A and B are shown apart, each in its own frame.
Chain A
Amino acid sequence: MDTKRTIAALAAAALAGSLIAGCSSGGSGAEEGKTKLTVWAMGDSSKPMEQMAAAYQKENPDVSIQVQAIPWGSAHDKLLTAVASKKGPDVLQMGTTWMPEFAAAGALADLTADLADYPELAADNFFDGTVTSTQFDGKTVGVPWLAETRVLFYRTDVLQSVGYDHAPKTWDELLDASKKLTERGKDKYGIGLDPKEPTLSFMFARQNGSKLIEDGKAQFDQPAFAETVRYLDGYFKNGYAPVDLGLDTSQTFGGDGMVPMFISGPWMIKTVADQIPDIEGKWATAVLPSKDGNMSSLGGSNLSVFGFTEQKAAAMKFIAFLSKPENQLEWMKQTGELPANKKAWEDPQLSGDPNMAVVGEQLKNAEPMPLVKAWDNISQNFLKTFEEIYRADADIDAKLKDFNEQSQKLLDK
């Protein structure tokens, strides 16, 4: 009984305590007269964002910034409730793939007219692809912030052993190298292509001249796209790329190079260096092999102003601060995330690192996935379609025809 009484007493105390907390949080604009800005930072980046905010507040003592971290995995839910109640942050970090959906719902403020006031935010400061990702329906709904793009990682020593003293430069070379690498023996593969990566096939298709979506019409049953699917399917069917290996890159890229090539983003540079130290000097990165072109897929995040905020000007000013090259570099130092600002890439930290230089080169030729609000849905549908092709050997043309119709329906909604 004693424990129960203690618990009851504690609960009562807690109740009282939290009610007080509830009251005080209402009046927590303690520093009266200051403009209060709320910023949503994604994932583990709230600490660095707080440091940026502190630096900003030093320059602008009349502003008080509150940073709230949102876990990536639940950011969508959190954003939904913000839209539903029209209560949210003033500034928010948006993944590029979510931009169209939330812009269409009016959750992102139209910044087109405001941009002229901030020279830091002029479009030509940023990589073209990143600027594209901030456009929706002819309006600018965000400012480029972080950029990443896919490049080719390869083991120089292993490729040399099959006669390649350079990274494969074309689709044909990539296929040929993969074939030779696979022929090294049992449990050896050419290249790691993640069939569950939603951008993979679309990225290759663009290199083959597919427009994916043109004037609101899905182009997935066209020859350029079908040819790409066939090309990629070949890697899986011939065993050049593993399907169900179930291993992490850090487990397959080291040693004698079970999978000596893969396509991934810049975060893998650090992962490979940290987790497979024994292959130092035996691996490199390269821009993607080309067909008609070698355009890569662009990801990252933008900074947007929440559509229902009343502090647009103050929010823009803070965004302009974050977009300065020196601050973008500072951010990179803290988080390892790469700047979207071109000027920042001239800094020796980036231009002096051969792997980063490759990423910088590729960023000049990278585009985000099509900016339609159903894109997430379309690309997930494609993964299922593609699985039936590479795993269950379904007829490619028939499947793509179905997929095209399904996508068109989503586009027309």
Chain B
Amino acid sequence: MKQATTRKPASAAPRGRLQQWAAGIVLTVFGIAMVLPFVWMVLSAFKTEGEIKRIPPTLWPEAFTVDNFTRLFTEMDFGTYLGNTLLITLFSFVGLLLNAMAGFGFAKYRFKGREKLFLLVLATMMIPGQVTMIPVYLILNGVSLTNTMLGIVLPGFTSAFGIFLFRQFMSTLPEEIMEATRLDGASEYRLFAQVVLPMSKPILAVQAILTFIGGWNSFLWPLIIANDEKLYTLSVGLQLLKGQNTTNFALQMAGAAFMVLPIMVIFIFFQRQIIENYNISGIK
């Protein structure tokens, strides 16, 4: 944005083009650095283990091999893991709605204990995860939720991060529109569903992307809660491919590349469908 400091507004068109180019070039240069490791990961997935370890390293695979991907399918109970992963991801979208509700509650109402309760919510993201792992497990065990899908998804259902994000954004929503809806006789719940949620599309999209990634990569609880491989997820499956003493990097790259694909699709989908649509409707 530094380029935006030129003074004269008169010759707007050519100056604007120059700035566009400058921004594009800056983003391209850093973009290459950003994307290189990712490209490397994808290309490595098509290399043999021997080629991955060669010095000097090759960027482009000498001979493309899909061996690593085949092994992923043959050595993992792939179908089951994929199904579980999808199920957990879907579940976490229920959590998304709960987080949005809570964020709205904290953003737009004044009620007793609001500040203290919100601090309590924030506090839950300040404690290192490992310290609560065993207590959470014992609680789930106490209510007989081990070895169930519900037990796997419940601990990660709500997140302070999500609530906080929703609160921050919903507090910027204009009060006038909400008041107008109330005057029309709408209940608070209709207000939330029909006015607040549609107006929060950009942040819903962001949180949807994050929720998807979280669900898609879920690892710890599926592993700990499951007493049966039938409840394992893709991430757990990938970890299983790791040997005790030797690591097959090509195979891991293939797994990582494969797992990141749906995330990219979802990301592109959400940013197209929601962020850009909103952009249009936002200009009144």
Contacts and interface: CB of A to CB of B under 8 A. Distances in A.
Interface of A: 3, 7, 10-11, 14-15, 17-19, 21-22, 25, 28, 38, 42-44, 46-47, 66-74, 77-78, 80-81, 84-85, 87, 95, 148, 247-248, 250-251, 265, 267, 271, 274-275
A68 B236 CA distance: 12
B239 A74 contact: yes
A28 B231 CA distance: 14
Interface in B80-102: 87, 90-91, 93-94
B11 interface: no
B245 A267 contact: yes
B28 interface: no
Nearest to B241: A44
B53 A250 contact: yes
Contacts of B242: 43-44, 71-73
Contacts of B199: none
Interface stretch (B60-68, B110-118, B144-152, B257-265): B144-152
Interface in B147-182: 147-150
Nearest to A247: B55
Contacts of A19: 149-150
Given A46-B240, A71-B242, A271-B246, A14 B228 contact: no
A402 B122 CA distance: 41
Given A43-B243, A72-B244, A251-B53, A85 B146 contact: yes
A5 B220 CA distance: 30
B49 A78 contact: no
A44 B243 contact: yes
A292 to B, nearest CB: 28
B50 A69 contact: no
B86 to A, nearest CB: 8
Contacts of B220: 74, 77
A43 B246 contact: no
A127 to B, nearest CB: 18
A299 to B, nearest CB: 9
Given A22-B150, A84-B138, A275-B53, A46 B229 contact: yes
B20 interface: no
Q: Which of the listed residues B55, B91, B138, B242 has the most CB atoms from chain A within 10 Å of its own CB?
A: B55
Contacts of A28: 228
B279 to A, nearest CB: 18
A71 B244 contact: no
A27 to B, nearest CB: 12
B148 A25 contact: yes
Contact of B245 (A25, A70, A265): A265
B210 interface: no
Contacts of B241: 44
B223 A80 contact: no
A271 B243 CA distance: 13
Given A43-B242, A251-B55, A21 B93 contact: no
Interface in B233-254: 236, 239-246
Contacts of A77: 133, 220, 223-224
B215 to A, nearest CB: 11
B22 interface: no
Q: Which of A21, A81, A275 has the most CB of B within 10 A?
A: A81
B227 A87 contact: yes
